[in-house]
Amino acid sequence: MDAELVILIIGLFFMAIIYSSVGHGGASGYLALLSLTSFSSEGHIWLKQHAWSLNLIVAGLAFLYYRKEGYHDIKLTLPFILASIPFVILGSYVQVERNIYDILLTTFLILAAIKLVIIKKEIDIIEIESPKIQDFFIIGGLIGYVCGILGIGGGVLLTPIMVIKKWADTKTAAATSAIFIWFNSLSGLIGAGLSDQLVEFDNIIPFAIAVLIGGLIGSRYGSEIAKEESLKSILSLVLIIAASKLIISNF
């Protein structure tokens, strides 16, 4: 096992800890890490498939832990999932040029970092409000389409929206995002499979083991112990650094 692969596996492990602690699958972090290694030459289709696959593991663990602690609200979760799934599949068929993909991913990472900082400031919600029906379908559909194009699960977008709009406290938002990410990632993989874009399981096994262990640690810490303000600050910094490196790599 070469040095680059060892460093990548360690990075995926820590990404899984950080992301799962706030109910996320970690695709944006995995994409950033993979894009900075020799695996970037595999192309955006390969990157999306493997990010979604790792998402299934970590988001699934995060959901189970947050649900066990009583934070899941099915009435909040289900409409977002139903609105998102068809658009994830549609977006997964979209293939963009490598430089365009890098620009989209970089833009997404920067916006995600900014929104996570905003969540930190909006941490104390006094009164929870229910989303309107059109909110579920517009936001769920838009996030789903972005997920399909970029190869993410959408939690980094959905969580800040729910908290800022006062639709959920941070723990409930984490539980909702976790299962939302899981279904989006599965839908993306199905869409990719329908277009003959299959995951290479030989490559993903060491990555899966790393994020499984990291996801177990982070999910338990986030759902049972953590104060999320500091974790969101760290995650914002990670995303900004990753986005900066992607920008530099294009010049």
What does the pLDDT look like over 38-68, one tens digit per residue? 887 777 778 878 888 999 999 999 999 999 8
pLDDT at residue 245 tops 70: no
Please count the structural domains in the chain. Answer: 1
User: By C-alpha distance, which of 179, 141, 138, 133 is closest to 159?
Assistant: 179
- Distances, alpha carbon 59 to alpha carbons 17, 93, 101, in Å: 11, 23, 24
**How far lies 67's CA from each of 72, 142, 174, 219, in Å?**
5, 26, 10, 11
Q: Yes or no: say if 28 and 151 are a contact pair by the CB < 8 Å rule.
A: no
Q: Is the pLDDT of residue 125 over 60?
A: no
For residue 158, the enclosing domain spans 3-249
Q: pLDDT tens digit string along 162-206? A: 877 888 877 888 899 999 999 888 888 887 776 666 666 667 889
Written as one letter, the residue type at 147 is C
Residue 22 has pLDDT above 60, yes or no: yes
Q: Which helix (H) or strand (E) holds 50?
A: helix 44-68
pTM of this structure: 0.80
Environment class of 172 (CB within 10 Å of its CB; exposed 0-12, middle 13-18, buried 19+): buried
- 69-74, Cβ contacts within 8 angstroms, sequence gap of 24 or more: 69/171, 69/223, 69/224, 71/171, 71/172, 71/174, 71/175, 71/223, 72/172, 72/175, 72/176, 72/179, 73/168, 73/172, 73/175, 73/176
